[in-house]
Structure 1
Amino acid sequence: MLFDDKLPSDLIFSQNPGCDCQGTCIDPLKCACLLRSSGLNYLPDSRELQHCFSDILNRPIYECNSNCSCTASCSNRLVQNNVDDFSLLKRVDAFGKGLGVCAARNIEAGEFVCIYKGVYINPCDSAKVSFTHSSESGHVYVLQIREFAGDLERGKMIFETVVDGACDGYGDFLPISSLINHSCDPNLTVIPVRVDSVLPLLAFFAKRFIPMGEEVAYDYGERSSGNSSGKRCLCGAETCRGFLPNHDSLDLNCLSIN
């Protein structure tokens, strides 16, 4: 991941002092990173989340970082060790929706799939960058995540992350993660994962088992109360809402960002 030069430097530097564990981190009572995460993040020796989604979305994920004394292969370094791994995905023709992405192999429920690759930009520039994308390509490749403390309706927004997924151009220059389409009944969800920065990696995890060849998709308006974009949705789900959500932000509960 790269950082736009307009981002304040205090967002980029690590806010997690790290742990002093030896080997791999497995004890939430001893590992400072797991304690900060309120428990184990991943199943041992796997790419899968430890907790169900109703729980994991209500607490932050802190992976071990450059301040930690544990090994580079520590099980709490899953996402950071696979930021360039898109081997689970394959570009496809998405039947009238343009390009899309399907599973290159069976993907287990809770399994890490990939990150949303791009450049972190200032949230103030999100609308401008989205407009540029739409004007130049007819699509928007900006992923915006807002994290709240407490209830989404009454809680306080405590952090906002925006990633430009088309920083290198369109077409063949787009990372495969930018081609993942919307679905009103998605098989992926986005979870912020923090490592060496307050700015999280935006990681896709499977919401359910995804067989090889099935298109992967996430809800562009997951947990968001925003209006529809007015653009007809072509996801084909039984629960289709008819129109795509405004591609502005996904809203997530998060009990603590510190």
Structure 2
Amino acid sequence: MLFDSNLPSDLIFSQNPSCDCQGTCTDPLKCSCLLRSSGHNYLPTSRKLQHSFSDFLHRPIYECNADCSCSVSCSNRLVQNKIDDFSLLKQVDACGKGLGVCASRNIEAGEFVCIYKGLYINSADSARISLKHSSESGHVYVLQVREFAGDSRDACMVFETVVDGACDGYGDSLPISSLINHSCNPNLTVIPVRVDSLLPILAFFAKRNIPMEEEVAYDYGEWSSGSLSAKPCLCGAETCRGFLPSHDA
């Protein structure tokens, strides 16, 4: 994880509580990490979530961290152990959308696909950097995730994570995760996963089974206010909203 110098140091270096389990963590009543997650996060011998997406949209994911006594191969260390693994993806020409990404093999529903790789930036810089991307490349590579707490009618934002996926430049310098296109009917979702810090890893999981060679996509507005930009959406879904989500909402 790379951090911009404008980010408060207490966010970066705020270590989450650790567990004192041995081997792999199995008991949510004894493992403090699983307890904070309200139960098991993943199936023990796979890359898949333990429960449905609706559960994970309403509860946090805390993986075991550097201060935990459990094994480095603990089943509750899935995302951190696969943080540099992009093997399920390959870059393709997405026709009129430009570059895109498709599945390099069949991906099962609930399976971890990859992280969104980039530089963690201050939310106050999000609009400025998004505008810079748009003016220089015609695209925006900023992923902004807002987490809310409370009843859906009275929910308030409690945390915001912003990652610049083009911090090293455009073209060949872009990580493959920055090339994943938007869809109004996506097959991926973004789930915040916390390990050593309050700042989460932004992880992509499959919402449904994805056949090999199918383009992978997520809803750019899944974690935002839902307002739309003036840029036409080319996802082709029956439920297409017509325009891409706004990045300055």
TM-score range, shorter chain: over 0.9
CA shift digits 1:157-188 (9 cap, x unpaired):
11110000000000000000000000000000
How far apart are 1:111 and its partner, in Å? 0.2
Task: Please say which of residues 222-231 and 167-176 is displaced more in the overlay.
Answer: 222-231
Q: 1:190 is matched with which residue?
A: 190
Please, what is the CA RMSD of the aligned residues?
1.0
Q: 2:90 is matched with which residue?
A: 90
Contact residue 20 and residue 68 of structure 1 kept, 8 A: yes
Q: Relative to structure 1, is the Cα distance of residues 191 and 20 closer, same or farther in structure 2, using a 3 angstrom cutoff? A: same
How far apart are 1:153 and its partner, in Å? 4.1
In 2, Cα distance between equivalents of 1:241 and 1:224 = 15
In 2, Cα distance between equivalents of 1:36 and 1:170 = 38
Give the counterpart letter for 2:76 in structure 1.
N
How far apart are 1:224 and its partner, in Å? 3.5
Gaps of 5+ in 2: none
Q: 2:100 is matched with which residue?
A: 100
Q: 1:256 is matched with which residue?
A: none
Q: 1:167 is matched with which residue?
A: 167
1:78 aligned counterpart, secondary structure: helix
CA shift digits 1:215-256 (9 cap, x unpaired):
00000011533321011111011111111111347xxxxxxx
1:230 aligned counterpart, secondary structure: strand
Gaps of 5+ in 1: 250-258
Q: Relative to structure 1, is the Cα distance of residues 44 and 214 closer, same or farther in structure 2, using a 3 angstrom cutoff? A: same
Give the counterpart letter for 2:125 in structure 1.
D
Q: 2:240 is matched with which residue?
A: 240
Give the counterpart letter for 2:41 in structure 1.
N
Q: 1:254 is matched with which residue?
A: none
2:30 aligned counterpart, secondary structure: coil
1:79 aligned counterpart, secondary structure: helix
With the length of structure 1 as denominator, give the TM-score of the two structures: 0.94
Give the counterpart letter for 1:170 in structure 2.
Y
Contact residue 14 and residue 195 of structure 1 kept, 8 A: no
Identity of aligned pairs, percent? 81
Contact residue 143 and residue 248 of structure 1 kept, 8 A: no
How far apart are 1:14 and its partner, in Å? 3.3
